[in-house]
Amino acid sequence: MPNDIKTTFKTMGFCGPCTASDTAEIDVRDGRILRTRPFSYVAHQSEDGLNPWSIKARGREFKAKEKTELSPFALAYKQRVYSPNRILYPMKRVDWDPQGERNPQNRGKSKYERISWDEATDIVAAEVLRIKESYGLNSILVQSDGHHLIKTIHGPRGTEGYLLDQIALKETGVELANDFWMHGDGEGAVRTGRAKGGGYTMQARNPDSWEGWYWGAKHMWGQDPVGEGDQYNLFKDVANHAESVLFWGCDVETTPWGWGGCFPSRYCFFLTDIGVKQIYICPDANYGAVVHADKWIPVLPNTDSALQLAIAYVWIDEGLYDEQYLETHAIGFDWFVYHVKGGDDGIPKTPKWAEDVCGVPSRTIKVLARHWAKRNVSIAHCNGGSMIRSAYSHEPARLEVALLGMQALGAPGRNQVKMMEWQLFGLASQMPAPRSEVIPTLNDILWPYAADQRESFVPETLVPEALAGDFDHERPLTWYGVTCAGLPTEDQFTEYRYPVEGSERIHMVWTDAPKWTSSWNGGFAFMDAIRSEHIEFVVAQHIWMEDDCLLADLILPINTKFEERDINCDISSGNYNVLMVEDRSIEPLGESKSDYESTLEVARKLGLYEAVTGGETVEDKIRRGFVGSGIQDRLSFEEFLERGCYVVPTAKDWEGDKAGFQRFYEDPERYPLSTPSGKIEYYSPRLAKHFPDDGERPPYPHWIEKGETHPDERLSTPRAQRYPFLLVSNHPHWRLHSQMDDCAWLREIETCKVMGPDGYRYEPLWINPADAAELGIGHGDIVRVYNERGWTLGGAYVSERVMRHAVLQDHGARIDPIVVGESDRGGTNNLIAPKAVASKNCAGEVTSGYLVGVEKVDVFELAARYPEAFGRPYDPDYGVLQDAWFDLD
């Protein structure tokens, strides 16, 4: 390496607070990022070596790589560091005056002017104190979820909430309690749960990647913390024992890019080499299906439950399930049979019935059912997907467990496998790849600031209601379960309410996660809520000018991890675990600071700097992180700093690990599940006890045609005459949520954006040729996607890769409002997703599988009607530029 090049280590995973991935080597020359290279495990191994692992199966070998397998996101991210949309200075909305008119109705319309950090932090500190004195700390809503290029010390997930804790502590003098639940044993144990914080209102994110598992599957097979299956050593099990893998609502070439790179794709090529059949079940022939599928079975969005019930019908009718296994490993199976045969609703769930509902021909259902029953079959996911984020998403999750149980869950080659190597919460049980000797953890640094550890919660899906609704202590907003991924199942039986006792409604929003509009549900409802006169102050911390920043009164400029010194652990790349020091690669751009540093600037104004830092410098925290990492006995801290990293060897005994649910399969009495009975509960006594009248999530799995929460999101309802398509909204292939949507290298790819006749790159809307022909839509036409909640635009991508009566538009595109709260140019379909929760007792999101209409539009006519929105400064390579919002004259 030339002497003028400096190299630093950075993890390049894009989501998750404690599970970084994709370690990269960042080369810098003359203060600018030159290139991003895969991290070499071999070059940086310690004296302990690597103990390289390999999986040998059917005459082939799949083995650990010598370097990380970086995603295109990781390689392209350096361009985003220098994006023209970077927020480089504190900004204030021009018509928001903390001493005068606040004009909440203009959020999303007004421009911003530059102010100093001193003025910005004066305003934030003064507003925090004013809100506290006027209404109480509980009137401050903290949205702590993150920008998601994973950081540890400098990360956004909770530092502002921790500051508010210190205000409460200073005022009361009462030490804040910490009541944590434990998950896992020994080194794998993690602290989760709720700590009693300072009384502010914390927005609890939904268990978004696990919605259906969390609200449904946990009631059948337990599996705290999130409800997905035991993942121990499943890549080896599938390679040696599975004959087919059902990739159900799964895109192995897309979703893993944000969480762990290209390792899963390589593994799927290996499955092809050894003859394991890969069957994709999804509305669209997604990128994984196109590359890997031996068979694609199209199913209409949010109708998987019908297909699953029909498979069960065939097995029951033809005696193709393991009755002996169910006698010893399950309870309540007769209730399930009762529903499948139509005993409770008069509708036998035959393949012919399912064909009319889900669009899969009955003959295909029968062939699939018989194929599955006669072979070792596992089901694969990439941490969830659109099928698990729809109305009543708990039902397909429960039915998946039901089907796996009918075919002897835990037998060789018969498990649920995540085609992502994400070691959720640092648990070895959530690692399908070979186990390492240690899973490094930085919880000692993360948990004191962690956003998910506070007493007062408003679930993500209920935020618009909480902000704008007319709730008080006599008419509270109520729901069940905190909804944060990681809490025990019993929490779902606890009723929560807003406002909490002794508090006022929300009057201030402090967000470090300004992507609600593009990544969650009911975005237009959120816009209306945030513009309510009740909301007196909105402060956003972010790196780029996008999404919810457009609705803020004050914006604090945040820097990327390339501009910070930190410590991090890569435990999700699949090959080896790594603990590393992330040295600063470049100097901070403009006046940007990290989320931690920006919180400290506010803390100074409140006299709480020492309280928030705990008297520690960043270097002190790096040392503390190392000492509690699990690596501290392998080398000294000084050696660690000198090396910059430690690569953890593979465990010597990993091949002997039982795979998935194998121990339960072999001995259910000695190794029970975490359900009350210790068995698969086809009938849940807990649900029957706590929710005896819940027809939307009854004690045993059901087909839910409609209910009081979602009475008309099916093609069978009269509303479908107006909105005749079911929208499937996946994780996007060319970005992660809204991240990377302004990356020029990706936007120029044909399937990333569709170039309109006006020079604007529109978000693609995939539509079947037969549907397009009926609507007079041609490839490349600009279309309006709409329902009664509003509309957004898209560029028609006509292809047989999406089935009839379904349209596909990936979620997460940056918003580009036409009329705030009503219409959007950016293709942000989350804006028109239902505001309603998954079902009446499940506060989950609904961001896919809902009804929309589609029609061709004339963009020049729209431009004449909305000249301001269509006249914003715009670059096809980057999207709408920040000049559209900043008044820098």
Angle between helices 117-134 and 595-605 (to 10 degrees): 70
- Cα–Cα nearest to 219, from 336, 344, 87: 336
Enter the pTM of the model.
0.95
- Cα–Cα nearest to 583, from 2, 7, 3, 5: 7
661 Rama sector, left if φ>0, alpha if ψ -120 to 50, beta otherwise = alpha
Instruction: Identify the pLDDT of residue 193.
Output: 35
Cβ–Cβ under 8 Å, residues 884 and 814: no
**pLDDT tens-digit profile of 211-238?**
999 999 999 999 988 899 999 999 999 9
| Both structure tokens of 137 | 């700390």
CATH level 3 topology of 718-884: Barwin-like endoglucanases (2.40.40)
Measured CA distances, 136 to 319, 369, 395, 465, 498 (Å): 63, 58, 40, 20, 14
For the CA atoms of 881, 886, 887, 889, the dihedral, rounded to the nearest 10 degrees, stands at -60
Cβ–Cβ under 8 Å, residues 629 and 645: no
Q: Give 29-37 contacts, CB < 8 A, sequence gap 24+.
A: 29/4, 29/5, 30/4, 31/586, 31/587, 32/82, 32/586, 33/78, 33/81, 33/82, 33/562, 33/585, 33/586, 34/5, 35/78, 36/12, 36/70, 36/74, 36/75, 36/77, 36/78
CATH level 3 topology of 211-436+658-690: Dimethylsulfoxide Reductase; domain 2 (3.40.228)
| Both structure tokens of 423 | 């070691």
**CA-to-CA distance for 418 and 427, rounded, in angstroms?**
14
**CA-to-CA distance for 385 and 301, rounded, in angstroms?**
11
Give ∠ CA 249-252-258 in degrees, rounded to 5: 105
Measured CA distances, 723 to 229, 599, 729, 765 (Å): 36, 46, 16, 15
**CA-to-CA distance for 835 and 848, rounded, in angstroms?**
12
Cβ–Cβ under 8 Å, residues 829 and 389: no
Domain boundaries, the chain: 211-436+658-690, 718-884
**CA-to-CA distance for 654 and 433, rounded, in angstroms?**
10
Instruction: Identify the pLDDT of residue 599.
Output: 95
Largest CA distance in the chain: 77
**pLDDT tens-digit profile of 655-687?**
999 999 999 999 999 999 999 999 999 999 999
Measured CA distances, 815 to 46, 146, 774, 846 (Å): 47, 18, 29, 19
**CA-to-CA distance for 44 and 39, rounded, in angstroms?**
8
Instruction: Identify the pLDDT of residue 186.
Output: 38
Q: Evaluate whether 211-436+658-690 and 718-884 have a shared fold.
A: no
| Both structure tokens of 852 | 């929309």
882 Rama sector, left if φ>0, alpha if ψ -120 to 50, beta otherwise = alpha
Which residue ranges of the chain lie beneath pLDDT 70? 1, 16-18, 146-147, 173-198, 421-426, 447-456, 889
SS3 331: strand
Instruction: Identify the pLDDT of residue 454.
Output: 54
Residue 612 burial (C-beta neighbours within 10 Å; 0-12, 13-18, 19+): buried
370's CB contacts (< 8 A; 6+ apart) are 314, 318, 320
Cα(first)–Cα(last) distance of the chain, in Å? 44
